[in-house]
Amino acid sequence: MPEKGHSKGPARAGEASTGSSAGALESIQSGAYVVDKAGRMLAVNAAALRLLGRSAGDMVGQDAHELLHRGAHGQPLAAAQCGMRQAFHGGRTAQGDQEFFARGDGSVLSVSWLLTPYELGGQETGTLVIFHSPDPPQSAGHTAGRPAVPLTEVERLALLAETTTRLTSTLDADEAVRRLTGLVLPRLADWVVIDLIVERDEVWRKAVVRADGSALQHRTDLEGPMPPVPEESPMPLSRALRGVASTLAGPETYRGAPDSGIAVEQRRLFEATGIHSAAIVPLRGARDVLGALTLGRSTTPGNYTDPDIPLFEDIGRRAALALDNARLFQRQRAVAETMQKYLLPQMPQVQGLEMAVRYLPAPDASQVGGDWYDAFTLPDGAIALAIGDVVGHDLEAAAGMAQMRNILRAYAWSQQHPASRVVTHLDEAIQPLTDVTMATLVFARLAQSADNAWQLTWTNAGHPPPLLVTREGLANYLTDGHGLLLGTGLRQHTTRADATAQHPPGSTLILYTDGLIETPGSSLDDGMERLRQHAAALAHRPLTSFTDELLRRAHPTGHDDVALLAVRTPR
């Protein structure tokens, strides 16, 4: 019978078939379990029990899919809807993320996972599942593993699988470094040192971390900028940073006359940490050497040997892949944000009017680019206002946005026509003159009459309606003047309309893109009502404070960028 309660080692059913896997699972700091060919759990490690808040008796012998696999809200998943179940039946190595496991208290745990075929002994084959949560429950915090010891082949493969799962599930370089230190300490080393080559080929010592019982201690005094990489130095770290070779080293390696500034820093490292044996391996990316990984022993007896190097190099390759992906992501995001920043215009200075604009890039770099705003003075003294969204979310969308904005400016300036006529001409020009496929747009004219009253005239091409908020807190959407979005090819079969509304003294007009009102799992109507309520509550705020707070309160945790243009008439 399965043992009840939390076990100090892995829970297991059937010692004959799973005895060898039991010890191996405990070398995995992430959650891990083994299932047979029917999907029943045979062995579970202590990390899985902690993460899931369950006892061994709750899990061993149970069908893993029925017990654990859930939707985001805790609902049971049909086997046909479960990515893990499909991968399990495929009988091959697979991995995924954004899945959910049921915990013992009824809550769900977001996990990234990897599963792979696993020999149970004899002719039997099962499946090893390793999972990691980016947001583990408080009760499932970090606990130290065993000090570095020789690993069996099963333990080695499990560690590499865990390294792949945990490092490739983040696109943040600093987080990847943090996870890497947690993976190797203290199983493989007492100390880990990570040196990264950053912009302009400068070297930065990102982490010097020691395993101290159940805690990880950073030696920040040893971290920071490093001297340049010498081109010909035969010293171990210099060779690793050039991608030449992996090397074993000790304090005696750096006791001679230093041949470079890096050698001086290495001597200081060995003296400060007490490392008596170190292994230094390159972190090689797809195109460049990204840095070096150093594993060191100070309190663990014995020295690293040549047979240790292949495992460390395997870990280094996986770490470099994760760091390379993170850098590419951050570089793409920086390019997109910079391009968007320079494409979006500065607001004109208009006597009596206040204007404020905000742009929030999407959290995913590939989603940046399509949202835009514009405001400029027309020859007759009116103010042209525009907000739009080019279909697509990438740099091509940002380029298309700039093309469309420039054409709109030219038409609006040269043709003293109503807003609807200007947008009709723009629609005719989109396909032959730009790379835009489709787009939404609100284009408006704000003009002051002889009696100093402000009047807004606009047309809407498939965009969320503007919101007008009086200084007394009355907030209403301007839903008139609505027509088809741009680029449909149906302009011959539709007539665009103009709408007009008074802009009362002290009132605020809000033009925005759909990223401000879209929330996964809720309707646009809900998002618009949320925006209306927050705007009404903030009507008394100065315009700068109004826009900042409106974004903070109304902006959902979505996946789209947000553009916002607010215009306030004088009181």
Q: Which pLDDT value is given to residue 363?
A: 61
The predicted model gives 318-336 an average pLDDT of 79
Question: Which range is least confidently modeled, 132-141, 357-366, 405-414, 442-451?
Answer: 132-141
Q: Which residue has the higher pLDDT, 365 or 108?
A: 108
The predicted model gives 359-383 an average pLDDT of 78
Peptide bond into 186 cis (omega under 30): yes
DSSP annotation of 446: E
Measured CA to CA, the distance from residue 132 to residue 98 in angstroms comes to 11
- % the chain with pLDDT above 70: 87
- SS3 state of residue 66: helix
CA dihedral 363, 71, 138, 161 (to 10 degrees): -80
Q: Which pLDDT value is given to residue 26?
A: 76
CA nearest neighbour of 409 among 426, 428, 394? 426
Q: What is the 3-state secondary structure (H, E, C) of 223-266?
A: CEEECCCCCCCCCHHHHHHCCCCCEEECHHHHCCCCCCHHHHHH
User: 145-178, pLDDT tens digit by residue?
Assistant: 333 446 777 777 888 888 888 888 888 888 889 9
Q: Which pLDDT value is given to residue 559?
A: 62
Provide the pLDDT confidence category of residue 268 given band limits of 50, 70 and 90.
very high
User: 524-558, pLDDT tens digit by residue?
Assistant: 899 999 999 999 999 999 999 999 999 988 876 65
The predicted model gives 85-94 an average pLDDT of 84
Q: Which pLDDT value is given to residue 146?
A: 38
The predicted model gives 319-331 an average pLDDT of 83
User: 453-463, pLDDT tens digit by residue?
Assistant: 899 999 999 99
Q: Which pLDDT value is given to residue 285?
A: 84
8 Å CB contact between 506 and 470? yes
Q: Which pLDDT value is given to residue 238?
A: 93
**Structural domains of the chain, ranges and CATH numbers in brackets:** 1-141 (3.30.450.20), 144-331 (3.30.450.40), 344-568 (3.60.40.10)
The overall average pLDDT reported for the chain is 84
Provide the pLDDT confidence category of residue 426 given band limits of 50, 70 and 90.
very high
- SS3 state of residue 501: strand
Q: Is the pLDDT of residue 16 over 70?
A: no
Provide the pLDDT confidence category of residue 143 given band limits of 50, 70 and 90.
very low
The predicted model gives 501-514 an average pLDDT of 95
Q: Which pLDDT value is given to residue 21?
A: 56
Measured CA to CA, the distance from residue 205 to residue 196 in angstroms comes to 6
CA quadruple 326, 332, 338, 340: dihedral positive or negative?
A: negative
Measured CA to CA, the distance from residue 51 to residue 53 in angstroms comes to 6
Q: Is the pLDDT of residue 81 over 70?
A: yes
Angle between helices 419-433 and 395-414 (to 10 degrees): 130
The predicted model gives 130-145 an average pLDDT of 61
Which residue has 């002994």 as its token pair?
121
Q: Which pLDDT value is given to residue 8?
A: 41
8 Å CB contact between 179 and 325? no
Provide the pLDDT confidence category of residue 13 given band limits of 50, 70 and 90.
very low
Q: Which pLDDT value is given to residue 75?
A: 80
The predicted model gives 562-571 an average pLDDT of 93
Provide the pLDDT confidence category of residue 520 given band limits of 50, 70 and 90.
confident
